[in-house]
Amino acid sequence: MSRKASFPPVTDARTRVLICGSLPGDRSLAARQYYAHPQNQFWRLIAAVIDRADLPALPYDARLAALVDARIGLWDAVASATRPGSSDAAIADAQPNDLATLAATLPDLAAIAFNGATAHRLGLRQLGDAAARWTVLALPSSSALHTVGLAAKLPAWCALRPLLA
């Protein structure tokens, strides 16, 4: 089985909130885009957070630009791993991304939010004691595999709003 690798981080010096997933799924890897699966709720959730209803319909580069403009960064807790399919439960032999080093290079960073339980578990392990430097949030997964509806996930995701100011 071949290794699957994450994408480079999407950040700039103004990033206030870094949202970390676990590892892109097969649809995202094939499209070379974060959260490319049409059933993934990420773009709808983050659209509500930044009050941009048009966000999910924008071209991918425009969506990323809107996130950067809203001071939101994206990355993944896992740099590479073996995994059949797209389920976080199937991640094996994971090599971590260096979240603490990236976070330390972001002077305005206020919070690190993890998209799903696996990202949260792996990301906290990587941050170690450095996690105390930022607000750390565990968000309900935006994945279609996490069958809780959009409305139930939205309040937790909207907790990001005050952290962006």
3-state class (DSSP) for residue 54: coil
pLDDT band at 66 (very low <50, low <70, confident <90, very high): very high
Amino acid 90: pLDDT: 86
| pLDDT greater than 80 at residue 120 | yes
Tokens 């330390």 correspond to 104
pLDDT of residue 146: 67
96 backbone dihedrals φ, ψ, rounded to 5°: -80, 150
Range 3-164: architecture per CATH? 3-Layer(aba) Sandwich (3.40)
Q: Which residue has the tokens 């996930």?
A: 153
Rounded to two decimals, the pTM is: 0.96
Return mean pLDDT, the chain.
95
Which residue out of 11, 15, 28, 40 is catalytically annotated? 40
Q: Tell me how far CA of residue 91 lies from CA of 85, 121, 122, in angstroms.
A: 9, 13, 11
Q: Where are the alpha helices (DSSP H) in 38-165?
A: 42-49, 60-69, 99-104, 117-127, 150-158
41-55, 80-94, 108-122: least confidently modelled range: 80-94
To the query of whether residue 40 is one of the catalytic residues in this protein, the response is: yes
Q: Helices H, strands E: what count in the chain?
A: 6, 7
